[in-house]
Structure 1
Amino acid sequence: MTDVKKGLTADEVEQLTNDGMVNVSVGKQSKTIGQIVAGNVFTYFNLIFAVFAVLLAFVRSYNNMTFLPVIISNMFIGIIQEIRAKKVLDKLTVVNAPKTSVIRDGQLHTVASETLVKGDLCVFSAGNQLSADAILVDGFVRVNESLVTGESDEVVKNAGDILLSGSFIVSGECKAVLTNVGLDAYAAKLAIEAKAGRKKHKTDMMQSLDKLVKTIGVLIIPIGAGLFLQSRFAVGGSIKSSIDSMVASLVGMIPEGLYLLASVALVVSVMRLGKKNVIVHEMNCVETLARVNVLCVDKTGTITRPDMSVTHVEILDYTDGYGKHTDYHETERIIKNVVAAISSDNATMEAIHSYYGIEEECECDQVFPFSSQNKYSGARYGKDVYLLGAPEYLLLDSYPDYRNIIDKYSCNGERIVVFGLANEQITGEAVTKAITPMAFIILENEIRETAKETFEYFKKQGVAIKVISGDNPLTASKVAIRAGIDDATHYIDATTLKTDRDIADAVQKYTVFGRVIPEQKKKIIEAFKMAGNVVAMTGDGVNDVLALKCADCSVAMASGSEAASNAAQIVLLDSDFSKMPDVVGEGRRVVNNIKRSASLFLAKNIFSMLLTIFTLISVNLYPLYPTQLSFLGIFTIGVPAFFLALQPNKSLIKGDFLLNVVLKALPTGLTDFIVVTIITIYGNCTGAPHEQTATAATLVLLTVGMAALVRVCKPFDIIRVCVCVAMACGIVFSMIFLRSLFAMVVLKGLALNLTVMMMVLSLPLYRYVCRMTAWLIDFLENHNRHFRHLLKG
């Protein structure tokens, strides 16, 4: 049995740890180095390339194995980048790891939650999230169990009640003894059960790439078999030439670097953000942020600094129920005693404690911890119950009598809480009779210095800012105006929103929502999503948790509650909202640049697919060697794509990822197919050697590839110019010194003349196909609603 005053001893903790009664987590968020290596080495396409290498080695066609260095390089790049990101994030995760206050040997310690043991005596207060099941032994708390039970109502817990892991403390403070830890805890069992049948959510980009990879992965097997059989028996080629032809076709169809490019770009972004003290719990949310067009923010801690200060206390003329008049000093004494009895577990109470110089709690008959649902806290002294909270929730029908006082301060963006005597039996539920006010306490938050600049950035990026606050709507509006948020004069009191329909209508009209309770925050987020928006939510309090879980992308301030940090996908370790442009910018950079680079990869896939079909129909050898496709891939696709994927790019993301990429890749793929088909037909008609036509086709493909690279690089900057020049120099160098490696031969006679002519004609042909594709897109966009929706989102 645990001593409920002193807790466990050090020896007991050590013994329980050795016995396995420790609070190990369900699973680490980061991969092990072994998992990273295995994930990059043991892939389906790596297996395919290994089979190709074995087949080429079997027929001693070693010069056509030039794709192997590219594949090996891809693997090493992926492994190195993921390990680098892991090291950065693991360091940050240690700093931000969940911690718990625990009493051991009679002393209060703060330890990592994973080191807790069964029987530990823990101290929980507002904002804490429970990492293990416990039984409450002392104190009184309000708990939200929505993350484990689905019920969003706050539950009052007293001595003897069970506290479930995964729930979080809304208000109050208690001592509790841990009963189930680690994998035996309630939340852990739910997580394991859910993990067994849950598919990991993937964003549009990764879903599109998965779909593409799986489709090609299925197609290459029958196509490869068909090409080999045709080349060997219909064309009469040797086993070596048949294998060369088959491998060349399939190598061109496989987007070997595209999926890696996307993964590495996301990993690099996560690592970059990590170096800026931003933890990304879910890598896919980097892409989601790129598509965000509505950002919901809380006032306190986001627009303003989290710490508050009392600027003024306005004492009212007050006569109690016995006809006794209370003077100024008596009222202040009562306020000070009541405030001293209430723990400073939120920013408001911290500020009031600081104003009155309160250091120790005062005795009273009963304390009512603050509830974000009912918007008050209080204390009972005999028959008298004094409450402190939001005027709208405590003054009720008498609110208009004090509007002049409230509006005087609200118009300056200050926050107001009312202090007074309850006129009914208080049980901790919502007040139904107006209190008798004794004083108004005025508080303020300073606007963050970087707030205006940050909101101006989002305005330029086409992201609408919505303020969702528990404060008075006029106060929140004035603060939002000072912070430079557009349309901040359009505000509404959320207490007037009674139905889901009211909320759905309100999100279309208003920018600032005041007096919002936690459940309403969630419904407001849902309403924005139902209206077709991609919604991000920032918050730092316990009352933000439900909304954070509901948002497409959630961002928490580390200085806020532990529950908010655990619920969010992204955590700002230094709680600096001005980092948000960096976070959103990273997402947009990744998706825009992958979209730009992916068009280079898919152009080769489209061309190879069309050329393979042509080869099968015309009963020819595939017109290119595998090594020549590697030549093309290195200098016009792979190397430039990796440089372009790391470029700045902050444009808003819209539309279907795969459709947009295919449309950008189509002109290059069609042009490649047309020119190679012409050269192949020429070779068949003139009886030109296969080596001559293959070299001619490669040179023309390099010309079109460079034209496509130039198109993708526009608008130019110094890096993009350097990439284009470097790739051109690489091609020239390879043609002079590495001809035999890439199976390039010296062109003669008609083959040389045809190559020069096709290189010259390929450029205007490419421009013409680009225009035709643009015309087709415009036509479909104007005449097909579904296509327009996919293209523009």
Structure 2
Amino acid sequence: MLNLTGLTAKQVQQRIAAGQQNEPAPSLTRSIKDIFRANLLTWFNLINLVLGALVLITGSYKNELFLGVAIVNTAIGIFQEIRSKRQIDKMSLLSESTYEVQRENGMVELHQDAIVQDDLLIMHRGDQLPVDGLILATQGIEIDESLITGEATPISKVTGDSVVSGSFLVSGQATVQATHVGTKSFINSLSGEVQSGESTNSQLLNTINRIIKILTIVIVPLGAALFISRLFNHSTIDQAILGTTAAMIGMIPEGLVLLTSVSLAVSAMNLARRRVLVRELPAIEGLARVDVLGLDKTGTITSGRLQLNKLVPLDNQSIEQLKVIVGGTINAIGDDNETAQALSSVLADPGWQPNRVVPFSSARKWSGASTSQGNYVIGAPEFMLKTMPDELAQQIEGHAADGFRVLCIAQTTQLSPDDLGDVTVLGLILIEDEIRENAVETFRYFQNQDVALKVISGDNPTTVANIAARAGIKHSDQLIDMSSFSDDIDYDQLVATYTVFGRVTPAQKKQLVMAWQRVGHTVAMTGDGVNDILALRQADCGIAMASGSEAAKSIADFVLVDSNFDAMLNVLNEGRRVVNNIERVASLFLIKTMYSVALSLIFIFMINGYPFQPIQLTPISVLTVGIPTFFLALEPNYQRISGQFMKQVMVIAAPAAVCVVTYILVVDLVGGVQFNLNYAETSTLSVLLTGAVCLVALLMVARPLNRLKISLVLLMAGCFALIFIFFGKLFSLESIFNVQMAFFYVPLLASVYPFFYLVQEILGKRVLARINWR
């Protein structure tokens, strides 16, 4: 075993040369190689390549233009993800914790990848172990291995015990010698099987993935059936290939997948610039849907900078005696939490030597030391005393009502985590904290956005309620002391009744979050300490401060790099912008998918050829979907999320698809029979009317209209018209300056808007409104 002076520089270099160096923390982003692979090797890209090869056989090279759109989409996706990755990686480095390591030349702070085998780590409460190790010195610690085993019960450890990477200290501090680092450590040997918080659930991505899954199943069989039917109906192979290719590329909403992923990546990059680290992209959407926000008092409502206000002697103690006892006890315990620092910074250390220490635990809410002067404990009186004298309870309640955090110093006959014996309270310790700057404005904004604020704290509920009221949190007078309950607690009734929850244990925090979720709420939880970990994991969205414990940061979906809760307003707005804009423009992508699937099914049983060629879909895709959705998706849109994604999409997509299919059948059946239009002419009119329907849908998606949106729609309509006037041959379109054709298509064009409105009214009120979209 090494002595406690630490490794020399030469020994460190020897271990690095031998490969005995730890690995860096896992990256939150994909590698460049993985980004290219994920964007290039997709099912839809494979279909596009196969279709492109088949079109090449026909010799109609201009119909390969659809591949250009796919290539541009893929390139944009890769570029934006790499751009986002660089910003997030930079922010990850800023938020990454360092570890105190004893080396020969003194104490140094190192990132985990600079730790080598046999290094001596000074671990504190809340630190997560980056290596396997052996405890060389401690006065007593408790380890939580729930991230590995799933079991949250703390395990006591003493000198000589081993500890494993991935676990974290919930109480005490220790000097730990690194025994296994890098790939040889326990957490790495599990090969990614370590239990951790579940991935953030995304309604948006789940819905889009369901659509993709359905299309993945139907697109190839449907395309094959259409191709075979064309051959049986005496089409040439070239015609069958071009018609089938047009149908299949029309079914692929690849731009929707791209737009969603790019929007989330851009939002993560924007938030990184605002000093918010996003650990999971879907969490951006998750916070936008939150309607209950659980607040930890310290660090969220208050600044966390604690100060000793005064000591209140009891049991005939003098103020000087009390100062010595509190100073001796807090220094003997050796805790380094905010409370311990506030006391030790102003009270002298009489040099008491502890025989035994019980470090602070959030579950116990007290810590203590056994010395030659006696057994002394400091903590929450409700958890130290079996029964509270009425006079003492009134005194504590009075100080709590003034906004103080009230602790007590007591002498005990026993000192074990489960038994203090007889407890004699010697005095009260009044701690004060300040309301965080801008807290009132921040909480007012959340409440105005219909986000219910709930305060969950380990402190006295009266103290917490006083601070919550000063911070402007509504219904802060509805408070409850969780220490007054036995194990049988009706959490559902509690969350429906109260706003402020005091003296809450870590397990109770988790149960409160679960109770809100049971009644359908989407819950976000803030925290910075080990006592918040269970609740952070359970919540739909976890938010941690960079100044908090490493364990809390490893669980949270968001890390506030400057520990400034005001930054969450940016996250809320970014989430709403993404969800609202994707919800708005997704209908434009799905119109093409829906009418392509419907037409493919219909034309399997028709003699006439499929109404489009691949090249003819390009102006529709680019001018009514691709370009406008790019601008609409970037628009600031911070409205409250309206509801179910698919229902909002279908209100526009379904009527538009019905209109397109109806007009194409009219053109194909009436125009071909009554007006003797050939395939080239019916195909041209199909493109014209499909584009007109999609432009009407674009107009509806762009609402509420303003000057810029009206200009965008008019510009796209103008460009669409110019294609027919000047570039018809390039896109295999016939001239529309034909009297016979005009006599047919002009009335149809005039009917597009009223017909769309009529179909939308019928579908919306009689069909879509009755469907359960969950």
**TM-score category of the 2 structures, normalised to the smaller one:** over 0.9
Give the whole-Å Cα distance in 1 for the aligned partners of 2:710 and 2:335. 59
> Structure 2 CA distance, aligned partners of 1:357 and 1:712?
69
What is the aligned partner in structure 2 of residue 192 from structure 1? 192
Please list, as runs of the form range in 1=range in 2, the aligned pairs for 1:158-307 lying within 5 A after superposition: 158-193=158-193, 203-234=202-233, 236-307=234-305
Selected match of 1:428 from 417, 425, 438: 417
Match in the other structure for 2:146? 146
SS of the residue aligned with 1:301? coil
Q: Which residue of 2 aligns with 1:323?
A: none
- The one-letter code of the counterpart of 1:695 is T
- Matched residues in 2 for 1:697 and 1:668: separation? 14
Indicate conservation of the 8 Å contact 2:684/2:733, yes or no: yes
Structure 2 counterpart of 1:86, which letter? K
Shift of 1:199: 9.8
SS in 2 for 1:370: coil
Task: Give yes or no for contact 1:26–1:192 (8 Å, CA) kept in 2.
Answer: no
In 2 relative to 1, CA 668–565 (structure 1 residues): closer, same or farther, beyond 3 Å? same
Q: Partners of 1:200 and 1:449 in 2: how far apart?
A: 33
Letter in 2 for 1:337: G
Residue 88 of structure 1 deviates from its aligned partner by 0.3
Q: Relative to 1, partners in 2 of residues 1:53 and 1:392: Cα closer, same or farther, differing over 3 Å? A: same
Matching residue of 2:28: 29
Residue range with higher mean Cα deviation, 707-716 or 405-414: 405-414
8 Å contact kept, 2:200–2:540:
no
- The answer to whether the Cα contact below 8 Å between 2:327 and 2:348 also exists between their aligned partners in 1 is no
- Aligned mates of 1:201, 1:367 — CA distance in 2: 40
CA distance in 2, matches of 1:306, 1:252: 57
Paired residues of 2:724 and 2:735 also in contact (CA < 8 A): no
- The structural deviation recorded for 1:116 is 1.3
Distance 2:194 2:547 in 1: 30
Q: Identify the residue that residue 749 of structure 1 maps to in structure 2.
A: 739
Which deviates the most, 77-86 or 238-247? 238-247
Q: Against the structure 1 CA distance between its residues 413 and 328, is the aligned structure 2 distance closer, same or farther, given a 3 Å change threshold?
A: closer
Question: C-alpha displacement at 1:404, in angstroms?
Answer: 2.6
- The alignment status of 1:641 with 2:629, answered yes or no, reads yes
Mapped partners of 2:194, 2:155: distance in 1 = 24
Mapped contact 1:317–1:327 kept (Cα < 8 A): no
Q: 3-state SS of the aligned residue for 1:307? A: coil
Using a 3 Å threshold, how does the CA distance of structure 1 residues 336 and 27 change in structure 2: closer, same or farther?
closer
Amino acid in structure 2 at the alignment position of 1:18: A
Q: Cα gap change, 1:545/1:766 in structure 2, threshold over 3 Å: closer, same or farther? A: same
Residues 708-755 of structure 1: per-residue CA shift (max 9 Å, x gap): 111111112454334323323332343344322222221213211211
The offset of 1:97, in angstroms, is 2.2
Bigger mean CA offset, 534-543 vs 437-446: 437-446
Matched ranges for 1:97-496 at <5 A: 97-139=96-138, 140-193=140-193, 203-234=202-233, 236-318=234-316, 326-356=317-347, 363-382=353-372, 384-422=374-412, 424-429=413-418, 431=420, 433=422, 435-496=423-484
* 1:616-631 alignment runs, 5 A limit: 616-631=604-619
Amino acid at match of 1:154: P
The verdict on how the C-alpha distance between 1:73 and 1:712 changes in structure 2, with shifts beyond 3 A counting, is: same
Q: CA deviation at 1:26?
A: 7.8
Mark the CA change 1:746 to 1:210 in structure 2 (over 3 Å): closer, same or farther.
same
Residues 69 and 399 of structure 1, relative CA distance in 2, 3 Å threshold? farther
Instruction: Note the residue ranges of structure 2 that are not aligned, 5 or more in a row.
Output: none
List gaps (5 residues or longer) in structure 1.
319-325, 782-786
User: What are the equivalent positions in structure 2 for 1:373-772 lying under 5 Å apart?
Assistant: 373-382=363-372, 384-422=374-412, 424-429=413-418, 431=420, 433=422, 435-499=423-487, 501-653=489-641, 655-685=643-673, 686-747=675-736, 748-772=738-762
Deviates more, 1:563-572 or 1:204-213: 204-213
Contact 1:374/1:430, CA 8 A, preserved across alignment: no
Distance 1:471 1:598 in 2: 47
| Cα distance in 2 between the residues matched to 1:21 and 1:518 | 37
Which piece of structure 1 moves more, 239-248 or 572-581? 239-248
| More off after superposition, 758-767 vs 486-495 | 486-495
Cα distance change, pair 695–526 in 1 and its aligned pair in 2 (3 A): same
Deviation of 1:531 after TM superposition, in Å, equals 2.3
Q: Distance in 1 between matches of 2:198 and 2:417?
A: 41
Distance 1:187 1:348 in 2: 32
Letter of the structure 2 residue corresponding to residue 224 of structure 1: G
**Distance in 1 between residues matched to 2:438 and 2:646, nearest whole Å:** 37
Counterpart-to-counterpart distance in 2, 1:624 and 1:50: 19
1:432, 1:642 → 2: CA distance? 69
Q: Distance in 2 between matches of 1:198 and 1:292?
A: 18
1:631 CA displacement: 0.8
Tell me the distance in 1 between the aligned counterparts of 2:475 and 2:708: 40
Shift of 1:600: 0.6
* Greater mean alpha carbon deviation, residues 179-188 or residues 462-471: 179-188
User: Distance in 2 between the 1:114 and 1:720 partners?
Assistant: 51
Task: Check conservation: 2:148, 2:194, Cα contact below 8 A.
Answer: no
Relative to the length of structure 2, the TM-score reads 0.95
Worse overlay, 663-672 or 295-304? 663-672
Q: State the alpha-carbon separation in 2 of the partners of residues 500 and 290 from structure 1.
A: 34
CA–CA separation in structure 2 for the residues paired with 1:134 and 1:717: 63
CA separation of 1:453 and 1:432: change in aligned 2, threshold 3 A: farther
Deviations 1:172-210 (A, max 9, x none): 221111122223222233353359x99966522222222
- Tell me if structure 1 keeps the 8 A contact 2:324–2:348: no
| Mapped contact 2:147–2:167 kept (Cα < 8 A) | yes
CA distance, structure 1, for counterparts of residue 770 and residue 488 of structure 2: 37
Q: Indicate the SS of the match to 1:356.
A: coil
The alignment partner of 2:179 has SS state of strand
CA distance in 1, matches of 2:146, 2:695: 56
Q: Output the CA distance in 2 between the equivalents of 1:777 and 1:400.
A: 65
TM-score, structure 1 normalization: 0.93
Equivalent AA in structure 2 for residue 276 of structure 1: R
Cα distance between partner residues in 2 of 1:62 and 1:421: 90
Specify the SS of the correspondent of 2:543. Answer: strand
Deviations 1:526-561 (A, max 9, x none): 222222222111101111111111211111000111
Residue pair 2:370, 2:376 contacting (<8 A) in 1 also:
yes
| 2:68 alignment counterpart | 69
Q: Deviations over 1:82-130 (max 9, x none)?
A: 0001100111112222321111225111111122122111110112110
Query: Residue 697 of structure 1 contacts residue 755 of structure 1 at CA under 8 Å; is this kept in 2?
Result: no
Alpha-carbon displacement from aligned partner over 1:354-406 (angstroms, at most 9, x marks no partner): 33366x97534333321211111223232611211112112331342212321
Determine the C-alpha separation between the residues in 2 that align with 1:404 and 1:216.
68
Deviates more, 1:755-764 or 1:168-177: 168-177
d(CA) in 2 for partners of 1:59, 1:701: 26
Runs of at least 4 residues off by over 4 Å: 197-202
Indicate the larger mover: 340-349 or 564-573: 340-349
Question: Are the structure 2 counterparts of residues 736 and 674 from structure 1 closer, same or farther at C-alpha, using a change threshold of 3 Å?
Answer: same
1: CA distance, partners of 2:604 / 2:431: 78
Matches of 2:397 and 2:194, distance apart in 1: 50
Q: Is the Cα contact below 8 Å between 1:693 and 1:751 reproduced in 2?
A: no
Summarize the Cα distance change of 1:447–1:717 in structure 2 as closer, same or farther, 3 Å threshold: farther
